[in-house]
Every structure is written in C-alpha cells, then in structure tokens.
Amino acid sequence: MHTPLLAIDTAAPRLQLALLVGEAADTLVEDMAQGQAERIFPAIGELLARNGLGYADLRRIAVTTGPGSFTGLRIGLSAARGLGLALGVPVIGVSSLVALSLAAPCRPAAVLLDARRDEAYFQAFSGPGLPIGGPELLPMAEARRRVAADMGLLTSPFVDIAALARLAVRLDAAGHPPEAAYIRGADAKPQDRFRVARVATS
C-alpha cells in the first residue's frame, strides 16, 4: 500500500504539502519567499497531527525536482530524502513541469515558466502528466512560438499539490529518483543526465 503519502513542493516561493490517505488529500499551503527551511518540518508535523498520523505512518514521499528555485529545490529534496532514509520508505521525484501539467484540461497543453534572462522553461504535453517531448530552456519568444493554436497554456509556477500526490502514488519509485533538474551551470552543477536541454535560435 502506497498511502499515507506525503507530497512536498518548494520549487516556487510557496511551501506546499499534501497528505494523501486512500483517495483523500489534505493540503497545507503557505506563501513564502524565504523561511521554507525553518518552516517545512513544523508544517509537516502539523499536517500529520491534524490527520491523526505520525511520521512512522508514512509509506511513500513525493517531491518536485524542478526546474525552479535552486535554494527551494534543495530544501524540498533534502527534506524528502532525509525522511525517506529515516523511515525506510520510497521517495518519488516528479518534474515540476510534469506536476504543473496536471492543471491542464484533457487536451494538449504547454507549460511555459519564466526562467529570467528573457528565457523560459518549456515542455509540451498531450494531456495532464503526458509529455510529448523533453523539457527545454528556450528564448522566451521561441517558447511562445512553440505553443500551438490547439494547446492550452500554463504559466503559473505553483503546482496543484493534491494532484501531485495522486500522481506520485501511481509511479514506480525506481524510475523517478529524487534528483534535482537544474538548468544553468552558474546556478548549480548537476549531473548531465538531469540537465534540461538549452536551445539557441538564430
């Protein structure tokens, strides 16, 4: 059994947690640009307590892997990995772009996130959680050109944390490691397999 499952998202300036028990999801969402590191474990404790559960009841943990805030991702990933190790439960990593696509209606959609420097993180989906191709880092103008007329466009950096929990409960832990998907070498030095492709246009 894969629940109770705890889902964590700190990739954007918001602390988001979801506790999935069976089909029911309880969430805790707090806007914060700073202070996530100090708040995350007290918030998890509060979410568990109001559902009559403790850490030992968790059977699986899910966490967003980016792209997103370098500091925020480190906080969420460190918390998820630490809990997984301490509790001996699987930790599922979910791309932030895949998680964001869960807000799409049941039709093709594109996730386009501002990456600063007039660039965007871009990925196309045939439906919620169903990527057509891999994520890319594009000039903003090129990313907007990639959005076809029949596609929905998702630009919010905030995932639906309950939807993320419901996705993660179905995923194979072995195929979804909790490894950060950073972009720029100046921001981080990830292993090459987790870098998002950067595309230049002439």
> 91 and 16: one domain?
yes
Residues spanned by the domain of 29: 5-97+157-196
Q: Is the pLDDT of residue 190 over 70?
A: no
DSSP code string of the chain: ---SEEEEE-SSSEEEEEEEETTEEEEEEEE-SS-HHHHHHHHHHHHHHHTT--GGG--EEEEE--SS-HHHHHHHHHHHHHHHHHHT--EEEE-HHHHHHTTS-SS-EEEEEEEETTEEEEEEEEETTEESS--EEEEHHHHHHTS-TT-EEE--S---HHHHHHHHTTS-GGGS--------TTT----GGGPPEE----
Q: Is the pLDDT of residue 15 over 60?
A: yes
> 34 and 122: one domain?
no
Give 11's pLDDT tier (boundaries 50, 70, 90): very high
* 202 part of a folded domain: no
> 192 and 124: one domain?
no
Residues 47, 31: Cα–Cα separation, whole Å: 16
DSSP code string of 33-46: SS-HHHHHHHHHHH
pLDDT tens profile 24-66: 999 999 999 999 999 999 999 999 999 999 999 999 999 999 9
Phi-psi domain of 140 (left: phi exceeds 0; alpha: psi -120 through 50; beta: other):
alpha
pLDDT of residue 184: 55
pTM: 0.89
Sign of CA dihedral 188, 66, 46, 58: negative
> 9 and 31: one domain?
yes
Peptide bond into 4 cis (omega under 30): yes
Name residues whose C-beta falls within 8 Å of residue 78's C-beta, 6 or more positions apart in sequence: none
CATH number at residue 34: 3.30.420.40
> 190 and 122: one domain?
no
Count structural domains, the chain: 2
Q: Is the pLDDT of residue 187 over 70?
A: no
Minimum mean pLDDT range among 137-146, 148-157, 175-184: 175-184
* CA separation, residue 195 to residues 43, 131, 174, 189, 191 (Å): 31, 17, 19, 9, 7
> 90 and 164: one domain?
yes
* CA separation, residue 191 to residues 68, 180, 183 (Å): 16, 9, 11
Portion of the chain with pLDDT greater than 70, in percent = 90
> 72 and 150: one domain?
no
pLDDT tens profile 55-110: 999 999 999 999 999 999 999 999 999 999 999 999 999 999 999 999 998 889 99
